[in-house]
């Protein structure tokens, strides 16, 4: 039997509330990793045996104490004291007060502070990447890359701080001008998931800050140490600039904190990253108070390889998209559609490539594949493999739990399913790839779009006409539409997000900054007359 661990992030419980993490009994406790010599580097991030999980200008926390665990060996790392409801109330009040200061800082000056945050992250990039590997479980190069992504967004936001704004529009009335004015929304709540515990916060935080907002962060309970470590870095920058620490607040927690943020009218925008199931509940709670939400939810992403595809690109792209982060990215490739003329060859090449994947401790530099985040994820993996078999699928590679400490499973390839098999339409956060044959473009484009989510998609072809049909209105219905590259690994310069059950939110680049601001159309009369629009006479 698999022991059910702490939840991956907030989840739905009875009564519509967001429930929090489960906890291991004391019998499971052993010496904390932070107290072992080989993990002494954790203290360089300001971490200790028990950490305060609330920051609003000062550190504290009066909630429950939780322990976070290393997915590679299921050993306890350190403890975090979470926020109580009283802590949350105090933090929101301080954040709202801090906004009065921050909103008055000119945008380019706000950009300068964000630049300093990026520089501070650069200085800690390797050690923070190590923590991501240790607590989340992704391989070191991905852990470091995630911190780099936050740094990149900071760099991007610095330039954006001198560019955000609206146009001056021509008026139909003489002596009048129309101005589009953009202002910060105020307090941005940010709830992030376990799988990108640094980058997703960075996407939101850096852009929200230069727009003039203050941020309140609740990370996943299972990656609380990462939330604390990142916040300590930011807090130092704010302190050095003599700014209120509550500009970037932190409330580690579970059910009560997540629900409070969703229902709180003082949270002007709530950015939520997580499952579609929980995202739906969040959206309903926010909409009930006519608040604004930014949702980044699930993805059931597909790669399509046509008969003219360059297989030297297809195989490594599929390998990275399906196996990277042990299948725990929202952009992970979960469906692979192969033209019937190349199906068998690609499957054989994939099996050989899968057999060469280097498995090990995620913080070892030569490893390409680490553990799933929790034992619950392992259980879900096994359930999905069994369901695939019941629906007629054949496991041609993997399908089992690895015989080693930690939450390791074999990366898995399944063939023989119908394109509309229920398991293939279910997002399982695990490295399972379902492979299908197709005959023509029309049917495979339809198969790509038939799932409820609409995050990422990619085709491999040399046909220029097909490429532009794929990008057009009858092509992919996803928010990310790629050609000859994997479904995962998006750059920060473009807006990131998806359609349908993925939530519709956009973060990071392009004009995603508009999500964090409110727009006013301002009409200015600089004449001595009072003409009315549409030529109306009211005399």
Which residue carries 């998806």 as its tokens?
Answer: 498
Q: State the residue range of the domain holding 180.
A: 33-296
Percent pLDDT > 90 in the chain is 94
In this structure, the answer to whether residues 310 and 264 fall within a common structural domain is no
In this structure, the answer to whether residues 460 and 347 fall within a common structural domain is yes
For residue 2, tell me if it sits in a domain. no
pLDDT digit string (tens) for 413-430? 999 999 999 999 999 999
For residue 222, tell me if it sits in a domain. yes
In this structure, the answer to whether residues 87 and 221 fall within a common structural domain is yes
Residue 329 CA to residue 323 CA, distance in Å, equals 9
As a whole number, mean pLDDT of residues 516-529 equals: 98
Strand partners, 412: 432
pLDDT score of 402 more than 90: yes
Handedness of CA 354, 340, 429, 510 (dihedral sign): positive
CATH number at residue 94: 3.40.605.10
In this structure, the answer to whether residues 286 and 340 fall within a common structural domain is no
In this structure, the answer to whether residues 394 and 267 fall within a common structural domain is no
> Cα separations (Å) of 6 from 20, 21, 68, 377?
8, 5, 9, 11
Q: What is the pLDDT of residue 255?
A: 84
Q: What is the pLDDT of residue 29?
A: 43
Average pLDDT for the chain: 95
Length in residues, the chain: 539
For residue 78, tell me if it sits in a domain. yes
> Cα separations (Å) of 260 from 253, 266, 284?
11, 10, 13
**At which of 259, 280, 296 does a domain end?**
296
pLDDT digit string (tens) for 260-311? 999 999 999 999 999 999 999 999 999 999 999 999 999 999 999 999 999 9
Q: In 3D, which of 180, 185, 183 has the Cα closest to residue 524?
A: 180
Q: Which two tokens stand for residue 511?
A: 């004009």
pLDDT digit string (tens) for 492-521? 999 999 999 999 999 999 999 999 999 999
For residue 538, tell me if it sits in a domain. no
Residue 98 CA to residue 270 CA, distance in Å, equals 18
Phi and psi for 414 in degrees, rounded to 5? -125, 130
For residue 27, tell me if it sits in a domain. no
pLDDT score of 175 more than 60: yes
In this structure, the answer to whether residues 56 and 180 fall within a common structural domain is yes
Q: What is the pLDDT of residue 328?
A: 99
pLDDT digit string (tens) for 46-57? 999 999 999 999
Residue 327 CA to residue 313 CA, distance in Å, equals 19
**At which of 296, 315, 349 does a domain end?**
296
Which residue carries 């306890």 as its tokens?
Answer: 76
Calculate the CA dihedral of residues 362, 352, 429, 376 and round it to 10 degrees: -70
Q: Residue 19's pLDDT band (boundaries 50, 70, 90)?
A: very low
SS3 assignment for 372-409:
CCCHHHHHHHHHHHHHHHHCCCEEEECCCECCCCCCCE
Which residue carries 């690895």 as its tokens?
Answer: 402
For residue 1, tell me if it sits in a domain. no
Given 64, 146, 296, 427, which residue is catalytic? Answer: 296
Identify the weakest region by mean pLDDT among 12-21, 254-263, 341-350, 530-539: 12-21
For residue 5, tell me if it sits in a domain. no
Q: What is the pLDDT of residue 408?
A: 99
For residue 374, tell me if it sits in a domain. yes
In this structure, the answer to whether residues 281 and 320 fall within a common structural domain is no
Residue 271 CA to residue 516 CA, distance in Å, equals 10
- Does residue 296 carry a catalytic annotation? yes
Domain count of the fold of the chain = 2
β-pairing, 456-460 with 453-454? unpaired
Q: Residue 30's pLDDT band (boundaries 50, 70, 90)?
A: low
pLDDT score of 11 more than 60: no
Residue 6 CA to residue 25 CA, distance in Å, equals 12
As a whole number, mean pLDDT of residues 189-218 equals: 99
In this structure, the answer to whether residues 129 and 222 fall within a common structural domain is yes
In this structure, the answer to whether residues 170 and 241 fall within a common structural domain is yes
In this structure, the answer to whether residues 119 and 70 fall within a common structural domain is yes
CATH number at residue 483: 3.40.309.10
**At which of 239, 271, 296 does a domain end?**
296
Residue 476 · residue 448 · CB < 8 Å: yes
Q: What is the pLDDT of residue 1?
A: 24
> Cα separations (Å) of 147 from 135, 150, 226, 474?
14, 5, 11, 37
In this structure, the answer to whether residues 476 and 357 fall within a common structural domain is yes
Q: Residue 539's pLDDT band (boundaries 50, 70, 90)?
A: confident
Contacts of 344 (CB under 8 A, 6+ apart): none
In this structure, the answer to whether residues 278 and 349 fall within a common structural domain is no
Residue 470 CA to residue 478 CA, distance in Å, equals 11
pLDDT score of 16 more than 90: no
216, containing H or E segment: strand 214-218
Q: Residue 27's pLDDT band (boundaries 50, 70, 90)?
A: very low
> Cα separations (Å) of 151 from 66, 187, 202, 245?
29, 22, 8, 20
Q: What is the pLDDT of residue 5?
A: 31
Q: What is the pLDDT of residue 186?
A: 99
pLDDT score of 346 more than 60: yes
Q: Is the pTM of this model over 0.85?
A: yes
Strands, E, within 133-186: which ranges? Answer: 168-169, 176-184
């Amino acid at each position: 039997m698999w022991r059910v661990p702490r939840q991956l992030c907030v989840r739905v419980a009875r009564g519509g509330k967001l429930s929090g993490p489960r906890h291991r009994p004391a019998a499971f406790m052993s010496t904390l990793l932070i107290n072992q010599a080989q993990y002494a580097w954790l203290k360089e991030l300001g971490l200790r045996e028990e950490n305060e999980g609330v920051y609003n200008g000062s550190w504290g926390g009066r909630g429950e104490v939780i322990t976070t665990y290393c997915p590679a060996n299921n050993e306890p790392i350190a403890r975090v004291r979470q926020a109580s409801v009283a802590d949350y109330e105090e933090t929101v009040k301080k954040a709202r007060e801090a906004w009065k200061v921050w909103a008055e800082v000119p945008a380019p000056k706000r950009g300068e502070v964000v630049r300093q945050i990026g520089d501070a992250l650069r200085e800690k990039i390797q050690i923070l990447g190590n923590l991501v590997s240790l607590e989340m479980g992704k391989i070191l190069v991905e852990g470091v890359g995630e911190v780099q992504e936050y740094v990149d967004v900071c760099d991007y936001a610095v330039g954006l701080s001198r560019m955000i704004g609206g146009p001056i529009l021509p008026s139909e009335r003489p002596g009048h001008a129309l101005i589009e004015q953009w202002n910060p929304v105020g307090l941005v709540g940010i709830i992030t998931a376990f799988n990108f515990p640094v980058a997703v916060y960075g996407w939101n935080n850096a852009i929200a800050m230069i727009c003039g907002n203050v941020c309140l962060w609740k990370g996943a309970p299972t990656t609380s140490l990462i939330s604390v470590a990142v916040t300590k870095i930011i807090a130092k920058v704010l302190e050095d600039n003599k700014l209120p620490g509550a500009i970037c607040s932190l409330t580690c927690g579970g059910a009560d904190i997540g629900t409070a943020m969703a229902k709180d009218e003082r949270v002007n925008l709530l950015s939520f990253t997580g499952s579609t199931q929980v995202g739906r509940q969040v959206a309903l709670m926010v909409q009930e108070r006519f608040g604004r939400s930014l949702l980044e939810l699930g993805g059931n992403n597909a790669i399509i390889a046509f008969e003219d595809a360059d297989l030297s690109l297809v195989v490594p792209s599929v390998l990275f998209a399906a196996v990277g982060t042990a299948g725990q990215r929202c952009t992970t490739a979960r469906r692979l559609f192969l033209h019937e003329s190349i199906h068998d060859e690609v499957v054989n090449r994939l099996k050989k490539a899968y057999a060469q994947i280097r498995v090990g401790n995620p913080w070892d530099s030569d490893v390409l594949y680490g553990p799933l985040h929790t034992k619950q994820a392992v259980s879900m993996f096994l359930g999905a493999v069994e369901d695939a078999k019941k629906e007629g699928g054949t496991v041609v590679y993997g399908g089992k739990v690895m015989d080693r400490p930690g939450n390791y499973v074999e990366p898995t390839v399944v063939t023989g399913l119908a394109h509309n098999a229920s398991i293939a339409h279910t997002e399982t956060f695990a490295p399972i790839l379902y492979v299908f044959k197709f005959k023509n473009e029309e049917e495979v484009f339809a198969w790509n779009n038939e799932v409820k989510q609409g995050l990422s998609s990619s085709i491999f072809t040399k046909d220029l006409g097909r490429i532009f049909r794929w990008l057009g209105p009858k092509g992919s219905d996803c928010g990310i539409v790629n050609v000859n590259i994997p479904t995962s690994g998006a750059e920060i310069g473009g807006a990131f997000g998806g359609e349908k059950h993925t939530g519709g939110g956009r973060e990071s680049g392009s004009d995603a900054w508009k999500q964090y601001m409110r727009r006013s159309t301002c009409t200015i009369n600089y004449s001595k007359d009072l003409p009315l629009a549409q030529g109306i006479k009211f005399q």
